[in-house]
Amino acid sequence: MRNQDCSIKYLVLVLLALCQPAIGLPEHDPVPGGIALVPVNSDTNALFDGRRVMISESEGAYVAVVGIPLSHSPGAFYLDTAEGKVQFKVKEKQYEEQRLTIQNKRKVNPYAQDMERITRERAEMDTAFNHFRPVKRPDTDFDLPTEGIVSSSFGLRRILNDQPRSPHSGLDIAASEGTRIRSPAAGIIVATGDYFFNGNTVLIDHGQGLITMYCHMSSIRVEVGQAVNKGQYIGDVGMTGRVTGAHLHWGVSLNNARVNPGLFLNQASTP
């Protein structure tokens, strides 16, 4: 009976995934930097690599929405749930290489005196990314946060001034300076700042470990602790921090894994 239950749940999940825009689950793309939708039996805590993951409920079926870090290896992995281990598979994915020339060399090879600031800012962002705020059903059906063209896709293996650096952990949308940025879904502002690499930055907590990040802004129009609605104006596109031109770097994090923002875009917003 249990196996039958499982296959019925799986069938429900497949059907849900097929009509994704209607119920608003992100896209199932179980690769490094992607998302695994894993059927589970209840909405009690489920952990991946020791971190609590989002659980979405739709018509009596529970689905864990698991962020897979870009650095993760492919293979079979487990969620730890109250009912035991639930297996899911991570497939292999090769991302393309991108070479960029940054004029401000200090942003590629920071000075010794920059390191304290960089470490402090990383800790601040890490605290935000690790936060799990209980929200019954976070909105995962995102609008594109600004009008522009995708200038750099997620996951690219980056070579800056001939030196290998961390892969591209967000989606870049090129737009002219001053173009408005809007929150893609409801949430609470959890951090704002002028960061060494990211420039003027805003982080929004949408609940259940889903955090979005906006970088290189020319101005910030929100404050920490403020609640924002879907579509609310949060600031403007700029070229602060480490950039080659005006653009929005848009990051999406789930269970502290930076994942492809494109997986959350509703059909109307897909660039």
Q: Which tokens sit at 264?
A: 């959350």
Report in angstroms how near the CB of residue 219 gets to Zn ion at its nearest: 19
Cβ proximity to Zn ion, 28 vs 249, nearer residue: 249
Cβ proximity to Zn ion, 37 vs 175, nearer residue: 175
- Give the CA count within 13 Å in the CB-facing half-sphere of 149: 1
Q: Does 169 bind Zn ion (CB under 5 A)?
A: no
Q: Report the C-alpha gap between 242 and 187 in whole angstroms.
A: 27
What residues numbered 87-146 form the site for Zn ion, per CB under 5 A?
Answer: none
Q: Report the C-alpha gap between 111 and 108 in whole angstroms.
A: 10
Cβ proximity to Zn ion, 33 vs 170, nearer residue: 170
- Binding-site size for Zn ion (CB under 5 A) equals 3
Cβ proximity to Zn ion, 65 vs 125, nearer residue: 125
Cβ proximity to Zn ion, 24 vs 184, nearer residue: 184
Q: Given the rule CB under 5 A, which of 80-88, 89-97, 178-186, 243-251 is the region that contacts Zn ion?
A: 243-251
Query: Residues 90-93: contacts with CB within 8 Å, 24+ apart?
Result: 90/30, 90/31, 90/32, 90/36, 91/30, 91/31, 92/31, 93/31, 93/32, 93/33, 93/34, 93/155
- Give the CA count within 13 Å in the CB-facing half-sphere of 103: 5
Binding Zn ion (rule: CB under 5 A), the pick from 172, 214, 217, 259 is: 172
Q: Does 249 bind Zn ion (CB under 5 A)?
A: yes
Q: Given the rule CB under 5 A, which of 102-110, 129-137, 164-172, 196-204 is the region that contacts Zn ion?
A: 164-172
The SS3 call for residue 210 is: strand
What residues numbered 53-72 form the site for Zn ion, per CB under 5 A?
Answer: none
Q: Given the rule CB under 5 A, which of 2-10, 11-19, 168-176, 192-200 is the region that contacts Zn ion?
A: 168-176
Spatial CB neighbours of 192, under 8 Å, sequence gap ≥ 6: 200, 201, 202, 203, 220, 222, 223, 224
Closest residue (Cβ) to Zn ion?
249
Q: Does 242 bind Zn ion (CB under 5 A)?
A: no
**Single-letter residue type at 199:** G
The SS3 call for residue 240 is: coil
Cβ proximity to Zn ion, 41 vs 98, nearer residue: 98
Q: Given the rule CB under 5 A, which of 123-131, 136-144, 223-231, 242-250 is the region that contacts Zn ion?
A: 242-250
Report in angstroms how near the CB of residue 249 gets to Zn ion at its nearest: 3
Torsion of CA 80, 30, 181, 183, to 10 degrees: -40
Q: Which tokens sit at 116?
A: 């304290």
Q: Report the C-alpha gap between 204 and 222 in whole angstroms.
A: 10
Q: Given the rule CB under 5 A, which of 154-162, 199-207, 225-233, 241-249 is the region that contacts Zn ion?
A: 241-249
**Single-letter residue type at 146:** T
Report in angstroms how near the CB of residue 215 gets to Zn ion at its nearest: 7
Cβ proximity to Zn ion, 53 vs 217, nearer residue: 217
Report in angstroms how near the CB of residue 112 gets to Zn ion at its nearest: 26
- Provide the binding-site residues for Zn ion, judged by CB under 5 A: 170, 172, 249
